[in-house]
Structures are given as structure tokens and as C-alpha cells.
């Protein structure tokens, strides 16, 4: 059973759908108000989205070269482990497995449950259980095979892009509100750094496609193309949606409406029925994002367990002989996510995890310099354009996130470090057991 291999069934379309699907979730609808309020002006808000997109694109272009040279299942964990050694790889995987992955799954589940209950006028106490059922349902779907999960992801990605497309087209052509130079009329102090941070959180998730590299057809070529194409689609969608919203609603109205701004814009454009449709579109968007996380995150503990660097590795490294998916690793991630949902602290745990995750992102971006020195040049493989400028932009962007988090959320920074350090004794226990 342990020798069963992952099935290589994921092509370029599905891989790109995973990138788009895991990034576009709730952020595109919930962050515009936050960004406008932080910048105080519609022009600077759009600039924040563009800068966030540029940093993300530079990051994606850089990781695409790293992934082409290390096209293995495990994503960020594998990149860190191959370049910096097993100790740093373990700490990276530990943070993502124990906190980051389950917290993101749990948070998206809670968002889904809240919105679902609101659309269909269900009791508030049902929100948690709807979210848990959605997470459990998608975990079952994705244990039936990566091809099944990939098909679901492709369908949901297409479905979520439809309402986004309608808002963009009708908002741009039917709106009559000035887009640029509109004040938010917010009493909050201007903080452009916080605005860019908000956009970067909305852009986060694109690297998750690397978790399923071992299940791709020709990953050395498919993975880089999927990362770049996916990020470009997301960047266009984010900027265009914000332009459309600002053309339909005043900047101060978007701030006042918060996450309901997109639905209100749709109601203005298409009537009350249209507003309902967009709300359902947002629901599909979150569901698709959740599916992408459930599909990709369990591949992290799987990769660690295969390397013998995870507690109970002989169990979590197993691939189901029929479905050829990491059933036990998926079960573990979903169990932790469900516990977080029951505790109701998923959002805070995600905020705590982001510091540690972006720290390892920075290591991964720097790895491109080290790999060019250590590996022979292969012109057939993808190479990051505008080297070394592009990787430097990615590294500077990561440093910006880390410094901003330290300054604006010192407690979250401290807790992130504690979570990371807690993996050190686990690492030595696991390695000592292997040696024994």
C-alpha cells in the first residue's frame, strides 16, 4: 500500500484552475472596502491593488523557475528542504501543516456557512454546521481522486468567474461614478502599507498548486505556465472588479457597505434578482477556493511523511491503492480544521500563521540564486525573466510584509514564532526515532 504512487492526471488547464481557484475566494469581494478605507482615496486604492499584483507576479515568476528545477509534490516545503536542508524544510512544513493549512480551510468554511445561511435565511446557529458539512463534503470528493477534485475545481473556477465577469463588464459600461480621486471620508488614519498587506492576503494561495506537482503531466513545464497564467488572470480580475465597483458606487459607500459592496453594485446594475445572483456567485467563489485548499493542503504532510519527517510517518505517507490519494493526510488536515472551526478562532490563527509562511516565502525566492549556482544550466527549462530584478522585487515585497507585521501586529508575530519554534523538538524526536 505504501508503494502506491500518485496518479499523474493533472494538466495545464486544471493546474491553472487550481491557481485561480485557490486565490479567488472571499478576498476579491471583502477586501475592496478595507483597501479604500486604509488609503483614504480611490486612486491610491487601485494603486495598492496593482502594487500587490506586481509583488505577487514577481513572486510567481521567481517560484516558477524554482518549481521547474524541483518539480515534486510538496510545494514550498520541498523547495525549502531541497535547497536549505531537512531541518528548515521541516519547520516550513510544520507551520503549514499544523496551523496555516487547517486555519485557512476552517476560515473559508466559516465564511461559506455564514453566507449560505444569510442567502437562504437560515438560523444563525446553522452557520457553523453548514461550514463544517461543506469542508467534510469536499474532503470526501477529493479523496476519491485528484482527477475528480480537479474536475470539480475547473467547474467551480469557471462558475465563479462568471459573476466577476458580469460585474466588470456591466460596471465599466453602465456605471457613471468617477473612478479616480474619490475620498473614502473615513476617520481612519491613512496607512498605505496596511492597504498593500490586505491585497497581498487576497492574492495569497497561488503557491498551493506546487503541492500537486507530483500528480501533473510534465510538471517541469506545466507548473511554471500554470503559476504565471493563473496569477495574471487573478491580477486582472482584482483590478478590474475594483474599477467596476468604483464606477458604480462612491468610495465612501463601498467603505460603508464593506463585504456587501459587490452585492449592492449588482443590485444597482441588475435589480434585486441580480444582487441575489451575485451573492450566490460569491458563495460559489468561496466554495471553489475551499475545494482548492482541501485538494492541495494535505499534500504537505504527505510529502513530509514520505521523507520520514512527520510523526506517524508510515501512516500519513500512505496512498490509497484504489483512489491513489493521501486519505489519512487529508483526514488529519480536515480534523484540525474542524476543531479550529468549532473553537471559532480560524481567522486569528490564519493571521498568526501568515508571518511564518511569508518568512519561508522569502527563503524560497532567494533559492533561485542558489539553484542557478548549484545546478547546471538547462535552456529547455523555464528561467525567470529580468533576472535578478524580478527575484529582488519578490524578496523586497516579502521583507515589506514581515516588517509591517512586526510593526502593526507584534503579538501575532510573537505567536507565529512560538508556533514555528514548537516544531524544533518534534523534528529532533522524529529524526532520532528514524536513526534509532
Is the preceding peptide bond at 388 cis, omega within 30 degrees of 0? yes
Instruction: Give the whole-angstrom CA distance, residue 141 versus residue 119.
Output: 24
CB half-sphere exposure, 73, CA atoms < 13 A: 27
CATH architecture designation of domain 12-433: Up-down Bundle (1.20)
CA 112 to chain centre: 16
Question: Positive or negative, the Cα torsion across 318, 322, 323, 324?
Answer: positive
Residue corresponding to grid cell 515585497: 397
Region of residue 181 (left: phi > 0; alpha: psi -120 to 50; beta: else): left
C-alpha cell at position 33 = 472596502
Give CA–CA dist 182/253, Å, rounded. Answer: 11
pLDDT for position 2 = 43
Cβ atoms 387, 66 nearer than 8 A: no
Reading the block at residue 28, the C-alpha cell is 476579491
Distance CA 61, CA 66 (A): 9
Could you tell me if 59 and 76 are in contact, meaning their C-beta atoms sit under 8 angstroms apart? no
What residue ranges do the domains of the chain occupy? Answer: 12-433
pLDDT of residue 48: 92
Residue among 333, 324, 225 nearest 9 (CA)? 324
Residue 341 contacts residue 109 (beta carbons within 8 Å) = yes
Place of cell 500512505: 318
Query: Which pLDDT belongs to residue 396?
Result: 92
183: left (phi over 0), alpha (psi -120 to 50) or beta: beta
CA-nearest of 14, 7, 35 to 230 is: 14
DSSP, collapsed to helix, strand or coil, labels residue 181 as coil
Q: Which residue has the cell 503549514?
A: 96
Query: Which among 93, 12, 35 is positioned nearest to 419, based on CA atoms?
Result: 93
What pLDDT is stored for residue 364 in this prediction?
Answer: 92
**pTM tops 0.85:** no
Tens-level pLDDT at each residue, the chain (436 residues):
344 555 566 778 877 877 787 777 777 877 888 889 888 888 999 999 999 999 988 988 888 888 778 877 667 888 898 899 989 988 988 888 888 888 888 888 888 888 788 778 889 889 899 999 999 999 888 777 656 656 666 676 667 777 788 888 888 888 888 888 788 776 666 778 778 888 887 888 777 666 566 666 776 677 778 888 888 889 998 999 999 999 989 888 888 887 778 878 888 888 888 778 777 887 887 887 788 788 878 877 887 788 777 777 677 777 766 667 788 888 888 999 999 888 876 656 666 767 778 889 999 999 999 998 887 766 666 788 888 999 999 999 889 888 877 887 788 788 788 888 989 998 998 888 776 5
Sign of CA dihedral 240, 17, 214, 101: positive
Q: 3-class DSSP state for residue 262?
A: helix
Distance (Å, whole) CA 365 – CA 377: 18
Question: Residue 183, SS3?
Answer: strand
Q: Please work out, in degrees rounded to the nearest 5, the angle formed at the alpha carbon of residue 363 by the alpha carbons of 362 and 364.
A: 90
Contacts of 74 (CB under 8 A, 6+ apart): 81, 93, 210, 211, 213, 214, 299, 300, 302, 303, 304
Report whether 126 contacts 117 (CB < 8 A): yes
DSSP 189: P
Q: How many CB atoms lie within 10 A of CB 189?
A: 8
CA within 13 Å, CB half, 14:
22
Dihedral angle sign, alpha carbons of residues 82, 86, 91, 95: positive
Q: Could you tell me if 141 and 287 are in contact, meaning their C-beta atoms sit under 8 angstroms apart?
A: no
- Other CB atoms within 10 Å distance of the CB of residue 273: 9
The CA–CA distances, whole Å, from 55 to 104, 146, 212, 306, 384 equal 21, 30, 24, 33, 14
Amino acid at each position: 500500500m505504501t508503494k502506491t504512487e500518485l496518479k499523474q492526471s493533472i494538466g495545464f488547464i486544471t493546474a491553472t484552475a487550481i491557481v485561480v481557484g485557490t486565490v479567488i475566494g472571499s478576498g476579491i469581494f471583502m477586501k475592496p472596502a478595507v483597501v479604500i478605507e486604509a488609503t483614504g482615496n480611490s486612486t491610491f486604492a487601485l494603486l495598492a491593488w496593482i502594487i500587490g499584483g506586481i509583488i505577487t507576479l514577481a513572486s510567481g515568476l521567481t517560484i516558477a523557475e524554482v518549481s521547474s528545477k524541483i518539480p515534486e509534490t510538496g510545494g514550498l516545503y520541498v523547495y525549502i528542504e531541497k535547497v536549505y536542508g531537512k531541518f528548515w524544510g521541516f519547520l516550513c512544513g510544520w507551520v503549514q501543516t499544523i496551523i496555516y493549512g487547517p486555519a485557512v480551510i476552517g476560515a473559508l468554511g466559516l465564511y461559506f456557512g455564514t453566507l449560505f445561511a444569510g442567502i437562504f435565511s437560515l438560523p444563525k446557529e446553522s452557520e457553523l454546521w453548514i461550514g463544517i458539512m461543506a469542508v467534510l463534503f469536499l474532503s470526501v470528493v477529493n479523496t476519491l481522486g485528484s482527477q475528480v477534485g480537479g474536475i470539480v475545481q475547473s467547474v467551480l473556477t469557471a462558475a465563479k468567474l462568471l459573476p466577476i465577469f458580469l460585474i466588470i463588464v456591466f460596471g465599466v459600461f453602465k456605471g457613471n461614478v468617477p473612478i479616480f480621486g474619490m475620498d473614502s471620508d473615513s476617520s481612519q488614519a491613512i496607512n498605505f502599507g496596511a492597504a498593500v498587506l490586505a491585497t497581498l492576503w487576497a492574492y495569497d494561495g497561488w503557491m498551493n498548486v506546487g503541492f500537486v506537482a507530483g500528480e501533473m503531466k510534465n510538471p517541469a513545464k506545466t507548473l511554471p505556465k500554470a503559476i504565471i497564467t493563473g496569477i495574471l488572470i487573478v491580477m486582472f480580475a482584482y483590478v478590474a472588479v475594483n474599477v467596476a465597483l468604483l464606477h458604480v458606487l462612491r468610495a465612501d459607500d463601498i467603505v460603508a457597505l464593506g463585504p456587501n459592496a459587490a452585492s449592492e453594485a449588482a443590485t444597482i446594475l441588475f435589480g434585486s434578482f441580480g444582487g441575489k445572483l451575485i451573492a450566490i456567485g460569491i458563495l460559489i467563489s468561496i466554495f471553489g477556493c475551499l475545494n482548492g485548499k482541501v485538494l492541495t493542503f494535505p499534500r504537505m504532510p504527505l510529502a513530509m511523511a514520505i521523507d520520514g519527517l512527520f510523526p506517524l510517518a508510515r501512516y500519513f505517507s500512505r496512498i490509497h491503492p484504489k483512489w491513489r490519494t493521501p486519505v489519512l493526510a487529508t483526514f488529519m488536515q480536515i480534523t484540525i480544521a474542524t476543531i479550529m472551526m468549532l473553537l471559532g478562532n480560524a481567522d486569528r490563527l490564519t493571521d498568526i500563521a501568515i508571518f511564518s509562511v511569508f518568512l519561508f516565502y522569502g527563503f524560497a525566492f532567494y533559492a533561485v540564486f542558489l539553484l542557478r549556482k548549484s545546478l547546471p544550466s538547462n535552456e529547455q527549462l523555464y528561467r525567470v525573466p529580468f533576472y535578478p530584478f524580478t527575484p529582488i522585487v519578490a524578496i523586497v515585497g516579502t521583507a515589506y510584509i514581515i516588517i509591517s507585521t512586526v510593526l502593526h501586529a507584534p503579538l501575532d508575530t510573537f505567536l507565529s514564532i512560538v508556533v514555528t519554534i514548537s516544531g524544533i523538538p518534534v523534528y529532533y524526536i522524529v529524526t532520532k526515532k528514524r536513526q534509532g
